[in-house]
Structure 1
Amino acid sequence: MRAGMSYFHETIWKGVPKFLCRVDTALKNIGINERVPYNAPHIQFSSWMGGDRDEFWKQVPSNEPYSVILGEVRDKLYETQERARQLLAPGVSGILEEATFTNVEQFLEPLELCYRSLCSCGDRPIADGSLLDFLRLVSTFGLSLVRLDIRQESDRHTDVLDTITRHLDIGSYRDWPEEQCQEWLLSEFGGKHPLFGSDLPITEEISDVLDTFHRECHIRQPLGVVPLFEKLADLEAAPAALARLFSINWYRSRINGKQEVMIGYSDSGKDAERLSAAWQLYKAQEELIKVAKQFGVKLTMFHGRGGTVGRGGGPTHLAILSRPPDAIHGSLRVTVQGEVIEQSFGEEHLCFRTLQRFTAATLEHGMHPPVSPKPERQALLDKMAIVATEEYRSIVFREPRLSEISHLFLYE
């Protein structure tokens, strides 16, 4: 069918008007100065590809199984789209949820059934064509094309809770010390709808996670919290913070043995200088991996790299291979910033090359893990990082003339 229809796309479509132009010329040559009317049905095409029932008309089922299955998929997809549109606009929908796809597994089930059926009937080449491509697309993009990550500053959560405590006339959440914030959060969420167990330790800097986790939004799947460690002090404190969270039984049961941690390259470079930031990022990953192994948690590192050198940019392949041993368990997350989207995914061949680089580097890192630096080299890098940070900060943060020059360049 595809081969037959290709002739229409490649030759017949362009050939028909050229032929009729030649007819006009021929008529003119014999003294007829009128053109062939554009709407004159001189040439029409039909096809029995896909409609030839001549030899097997008695064996044609009243309902073709693939048409029945895929027809239901089409109808359900339409209802899913319409229900989503109605919920996003007026906020209510007359379409029942049962008439829609609510998860990607429901969508894949009939497609997989068709795939297995074609394979069992000896039509594997057909199954491995467009159907297999579509199965891969559905598995990759699901029902929503992309997942929405919510990036929120912790101060926003503090603002909300501060509004609540002021409304209740119990003080200002923002002004409370860390221990009082945790005590109030635990008392509230340990009431009618308990969200924490009784084993939550009172430790510093854990209220941000409590603020984020403890909110009921009637969502089907709990939202995972991905802490971001970016500045030098944050990276140094990251392993201890993660260990405190993993020591909470309730927290570990909620994450189902999986945790994402985002490490930032932009602010760390601006805060401590590029060498110091790169070395601290490396050490933080090593320590975070040890903590995750200690508690039996699979850790996925989320690399917040930009496109420019100052934002952690650089060759993708080398960047992945330079991660510490065990930092990539066959998977990783990275950001693709706006300034590099075009060069990474702007054309089909660029998209292919980008995916190829990530896949090849991830596999190579797993099959041939890098070796950790020797202790003497680590000690040397520690000293170099201290000197680099001090020199960098003495210029960027403590040199008043730099601020004057920056304002001058900005004005110009």
Structure 2
Amino acid sequence: MMTISETFDLNQKIQKDLAFILDCFREVLVSLNEPVLAKNLFCSDLEGEMLPERTAQAYSMAFQLLNQTEENAHNQRKRAIASDPQSEYESGHWRQILKRLQEAGFSDGDIASRLPEIMVEPVLTAHPTEAKRATVLQHHRELYLLLLKRENAMWTPLERENIRGEIKVLLERLWRTGEIFLEKPDLASERRNVVHYLRFVFPQVVPMADLRLRQSWRHLGFDPAKIRHPSNLPRISFGTWVGGDRDGHPFVTADITRQTLAHLRTQALLCLRTQITRLGANISLSGYLQEPPEALSRWIECQEKELGARGLAATARNKNEPWRQAANLMLAKLPIRVIDDAHASLENQKGHYCQPEELAADLDLLARSLDEIGAQRLTEADVFPVLRTVQCFGFHLAVLDIRQNSAFHDRAIDQLMATAAITDGPFSEWDEPRRIEFLERELQTPRPFTLARTDLGKEAEAVLGCFSVVQEFSDQNGTSAIGALIVSMTRDYSDLVAVYLLAREVGLVFPTESGLVCSLPVVPLFETIDDLRRSGDILDRFLSNPLTRRSLERQARERGWSTPVQQVMVGYSDSNKDGGILASFWTLYQAQEAMTKVARRHGIHLRFFHGRGGTIGRGAGPAHRFLRALPPGSLSGTLRLTEQGETIAQKYANQMTAAVNLELLLAGTTEAAHQRENGDEKEARLRQILDHAAQKSFQAYRELLETPGFVDFFREATPIDAIESSHIGSRPSRRTGSRKLEDLRAIPWVFSWNQARFCLSGWYGVGFALQDLHQNDPEAFDLIRTYKNRFWPPLHYLVSNVATSMATTDLEIMTAYAGLVTDAQVRTRIFSLIEREYHRTMSVLEAIYGGPLAERRLKTELPLARRRPGLHLLHQQQRAQLRQWRALREQGDQVASEAMLPSLLLTINAIASGLGTTG
């Protein structure tokens, strides 16, 4: 008997639904007097023809419709599999992970005992990779819900026709709205977008992810009681960088951070207020029909007295409904005053909750009182979801990280020294020993470095202003709303100790009986290849610092952790831009291993924060494979990772997709927490091979970047100049404004290469390295070919990601973009290197996969094939626009070039929609 998963034809489902939605779109276009666009949509024989003016807009919409059609089809397949107990276990999902652990000898008790130690925290950032306006994203969300609505077989023909009409209304709305940012979004709009997910999406999705765990748990015959209470579930929380990340972002001021912290707290309390109000409406149990437990009655009486008039008002409602009165009292204790839907203010009066743990304790008492009268079903349906929300979102919705560049901190210290009349030369120019000697001497005393707070200089004012806001907020509300003080471009030990000196100026570092401590964690961010290679030594020195040790111990006590925790952030984007994908991957792997050993030696629990982007060149890849590919022991149950730009909407805009993505993170982290370190001889040999391959790959990649004319080729063969003029994020595309390649952020670097279909960051250098193995050490190459397929997860993840990048790369299209380079010698010199490496990489991948990638990797090829005709057309249009736009700029015709920019940006947006990614 065939299972549902075997009979569910995913490709057929996509084609059928796509035909329906494109028919609707064509009808809308015809009705809006665009018959040529309607006729030519997804035609493959239009090259060379005059294209209608709004072709890019039409394809941008059509690609988004295709994306949503595929997303819905995949979700329907998952539903079909979930409803069939005989279907295979999907890779990375709870059912498969729990089965694997069971087969490895872990009982349900063993697994349940570890689940509360699992901690996953997605961190939402606002990097400039989301090309769609918030209004457009909302229209797309509504459209997806209509596609979902169509799946219900209950509708009559008339009702189905009505749904079709609703879809056409939304399509016309999208067409008339337009998708691109015509003005650069401000931080407030980016914050609104992130808060939408934190306030309205994730509180709905977390219970769905929990349900998927509980269903899989029961499916395997495990005892449901072991994971009944929210405290028995894996921990999930959220973070954000919007309003806190000031690395190269001059618009993130102290006031912005203050507003963001207050806004997050307000929204968290409003979210809880909504849920507790619903809870009160649901638990309308009569005190006449069941006697309330004495503990609940005493609690109500006590809270009524403590709250005074507010308590009396809360219990005056719903007489003889004690459980409902308890919910009313919890509402009265929330530290927020709500006037109407649009006006709420934070307040802190006598009797208000100070910390979310106090609310959680009251909800627990309410749950026990329901259990005591035999209403366990109501406990699980009504109380536990609110308790889970408190656990996940607290009173802050998401922790706000504060990130700044180490060089910025150096300039701030220069200015503090100048204010204090220290004239030994700029701190930023000292060597490492001198910096350390100065910092450690200064930190031996609790006094501020300088008492002056006026005219300190731009950098010093910015750092101390931000730290002052954080200190003020922490004094009022505790530190649970603040994530960490992250130091990007951490290059040495002194970069971390410098933060202690700056934090001491505002009281974030303060004296205790045992010495100075810092109230917030200081977190290094290792980004470049060189910094990652030295990360173990830097971390060792940092953890050896008594101030660090005291601080970690204090932070652990405040959070109820049994072991001090040091967080370390590793960057995928800049290391890839610096050394190519193979060198980046292997250096990151080895750095995590080295730092894990260092932390163990110091008796510290290490929590890695993975700074991944939305493309393979910036660390992206299937979540479950990514987690399995991490070094054993480096992911011992706690995980932080960034969710950036357009990936937030792709993963979390729709609830089913969001629940699946959270499931993959939680299940994958759980599996890794049970992973045992048991490398064999073959793995040791593979590590030697990757050492050699990473060196060779790095060599080839750096030779390309250092070839004369490379920067000119990059600037002309890709639309980097147009991307730098775009309006898809509040952050500048460069850290300091310099035109050097080193100053360009990794996001526009990857974005521009992808637009021209080079996708260099996802494969360049791999062919050179593996061909060298193939020719000079065929036994090693055969070992890679053998162990690629799941035998060793790091190798499988690396090779499959490179193969996906190669599938997205298009030699014909990148050849055409190379034609934009005006200097023929530069064009030939650089492109010949790229073309040669392309053929090398394709050759070794086909040897590894045993045939053409398009045939061996149909899951990757089929989605690309659906998009190929439209993408070819758009690339043709973009190249023509780039030539014209650049000519206008060369002529100095600023008015004409500015007038043309929206059309060019729309083409960029349309190609990004087709590829499913920007940067």
**Same fold by TM-score greater than 0.5:** yes
Aligned partner letter, 2:377: P
- 1:227-256 superposed Cα distances (whole Å, 9 cap, x missing partner): 111211111101111111122233223212
Alignment partner of 2:549 out of 228, 242, 252: 252
CA separation of 1:253 and 1:71: change in aligned 2, threshold 3 A:
same
Residue 328 (structure 1) aligned with residue 582 (structure 2): no
CA separation of 1:319 and 1:65: change in aligned 2, threshold 3 A:
same
Residue 118 (structure 1) aligned with residue 370 (structure 2): yes
CA separation of 1:51 and 1:270: change in aligned 2, threshold 3 A:
closer
- The answer for the alignment partner of 2:333 in structure 1 is 76
Scaled by the length of structure 2, what TM-score is found?
A: 0.35
Structure-1 separation of matches of 2:372 and 2:290: 23
Structure-2 separation of matches of 1:287 and 1:332: 18
- The answer for the alignment partner of 1:273 in structure 2 is 580
Aligned partner letter, 1:402: F
RMSD over equivalenced CA pairs, Å: 3.1
- The answer for the alignment partner of 2:715 in structure 1 is 407
- The answer for the alignment partner of 1:42 in structure 2 is none
5 Å-filtered alignment, 1:246-325, equals 246-256=543-553, 257-325=564-632
Deviation of residue 98 (structure 1)?
4.3
CA separation of 1:139 and 1:81: change in aligned 2, threshold 3 A:
farther
Alignment partner of 2:357 out of 105, 120, 126: 105
Residue 181 (structure 1) aligned with residue 435 (structure 2): yes
- The answer for the alignment partner of 1:38 in structure 2 is none
Structure-2 separation of matches of 1:208 and 1:223: 16
Structure-1 separation of matches of 2:637 and 2:615: 26
Contact 1:282 1:323 in 2 (8 A): yes
CA separation of 1:102 and 1:154: change in aligned 2, threshold 3 A:
farther
Indicate the SS of the match to 1:323: coil
Deviation of residue 109 (structure 1)?
1.8
Deviation of residue 194 (structure 1)?
9.4
- 1:367-388 superposed Cα distances (whole Å, 9 cap, x missing partner): 3447546332222211111111
Contact 2:635 2:669 in 1 (8 A): yes
CA separation of 1:225 and 1:97: change in aligned 2, threshold 3 A:
farther
- The answer for the alignment partner of 1:391 in structure 2 is 700
- 1:133-168 superposed Cα distances (whole Å, 9 cap, x missing partner): 111011001111111011111122222211111011
Contact 1:70 1:110 in 2 (8 A): no
- 1:73-92 superposed Cα distances (whole Å, 9 cap, x missing partner): 2122153779x9767xxxxx
Contact 1:302 1:334 in 2 (8 A): yes
Indicate the SS of the match to 1:383: helix
- The answer for the alignment partner of 1:378 in structure 2 is 687
Deviation of residue 96 (structure 1)?
4.5
- The answer for the alignment partner of 1:16 in structure 2 is none
Residue 236 (structure 1) aligned with residue 236 (structure 2): no
- The answer for the alignment partner of 1:41 in structure 2 is none
* Larger radius of gyration between Structure 1 and Structure 2: 1
CA separation of 1:245 and 1:51: change in aligned 2, threshold 3 A:
closer
Structure-2 separation of matches of 1:175 and 1:135: 52
Aligned partner letter, 2:577: K
Indicate the SS of the match to 2:566: strand
CA separation of 1:166 and 1:120: change in aligned 2, threshold 3 A:
same
Contact 2:336 2:344 in 1 (8 A): no
Residue 130 (structure 1) aligned with residue 382 (structure 2): yes
CA separation of 1:133 and 1:213: change in aligned 2, threshold 3 A:
same
Structure-2 separation of matches of 1:228 and 1:210: 14
Indicate the SS of the match to 2:625: helix
Aligned partner letter, 2:535: A
- Which blocks of at least 5 consecutive residues in structure 1 are unaligned? 1-48, 88-94, 196-203
Contact 1:262 1:301 in 2 (8 A): yes
CA separation of 1:152 and 1:321: change in aligned 2, threshold 3 A:
same
Contact 1:344 1:354 in 2 (8 A): yes
Deviation of residue 399 (structure 1)?
1.3
Indicate the SS of the match to 1:277: helix
Alignment partner of 1:213 out of 473, 493, 500: 500
- 1:252-305 superposed Cα distances (whole Å, 9 cap, x missing partner): 232122111111111111111101111111111111111111111111111111
Structure-2 separation of matches of 1:187 and 1:299: 28
Contact 1:246 1:295 in 2 (8 A): yes
Aligned partner letter, 1:293: R
Aligned partner letter, 1:228: L
Alignment partner of 1:165 out of 417, 427, 430: 417
Contact 1:265 1:305 in 2 (8 A): yes
Contact 1:80 1:100 in 2 (8 A): no
Structure-2 separation of matches of 1:227 and 1:192: 24
Alignment coverage as a number of residue pairs: 346
- The answer for the alignment partner of 1:337 in structure 2 is 644
CA separation of 1:194 and 1:233: change in aligned 2, threshold 3 A:
same
Structure-2 separation of matches of 1:347 and 1:58: 41
Deviation of residue 188 (structure 1)?
3.0
Contact 1:80 1:101 in 2 (8 A): no
Scaled by the length of structure 1, what TM-score is found?
A: 0.76
CA separation of 1:50 and 1:65: change in aligned 2, threshold 3 A:
closer
Aligned partner letter, 1:301: F
- Which blocks of at least 5 consecutive residues in structure 2 are unaligned? 1-281, 298-318, 450-490, 510-517, 554-563, 722-881, 883-919
- The answer for the alignment partner of 2:110 in structure 1 is none
Contact 2:285 2:324 in 1 (8 A): no
Structure-2 separation of matches of 1:181 and 1:265: 28
Deviation of residue 223 (structure 1)?
1.3
- The answer for the alignment partner of 2:183 in structure 1 is none
Deviation of residue 183 (structure 1)?
3.1
CA separation of 1:97 and 1:192: change in aligned 2, threshold 3 A:
farther
CA separation of 1:181 and 1:402: change in aligned 2, threshold 3 A:
closer
Structure-2 separation of matches of 1:182 and 1:85: 48
Structure-1 separation of matches of 2:536 and 2:289: 71
Contact 2:427 2:435 in 1 (8 A): yes
Deviation of residue 121 (structure 1)?
1.6
CA separation of 1:194 and 1:81: change in aligned 2, threshold 3 A:
farther
Contact 1:261 1:301 in 2 (8 A): yes
Contact 2:523 2:569 in 1 (8 A): yes
Structure-2 separation of matches of 1:331 and 1:52: 40
Contact 2:528 2:578 in 1 (8 A): yes
- 1:301-332 superposed Cα distances (whole Å, 9 cap, x missing partner): 11111111110111111110011111111221
- 1:11-31 superposed Cα distances (whole Å, 9 cap, x missing partner): xxxxxxxxxxxxxxxxxxxxx
Contact 1:321 1:370 in 2 (8 A): no
CA separation of 1:123 and 1:358: change in aligned 2, threshold 3 A:
same
Structure-2 separation of matches of 1:268 and 1:59: 64
Contact 2:284 2:324 in 1 (8 A): no
- The answer for the alignment partner of 2:657 in structure 1 is 350
Contact 2:569 2:608 in 1 (8 A): yes
| Paired-residue identity, % | 30
Deviation of residue 187 (structure 1)?
3.3
Structure-1 separation of matches of 2:519 and 2:392: 21
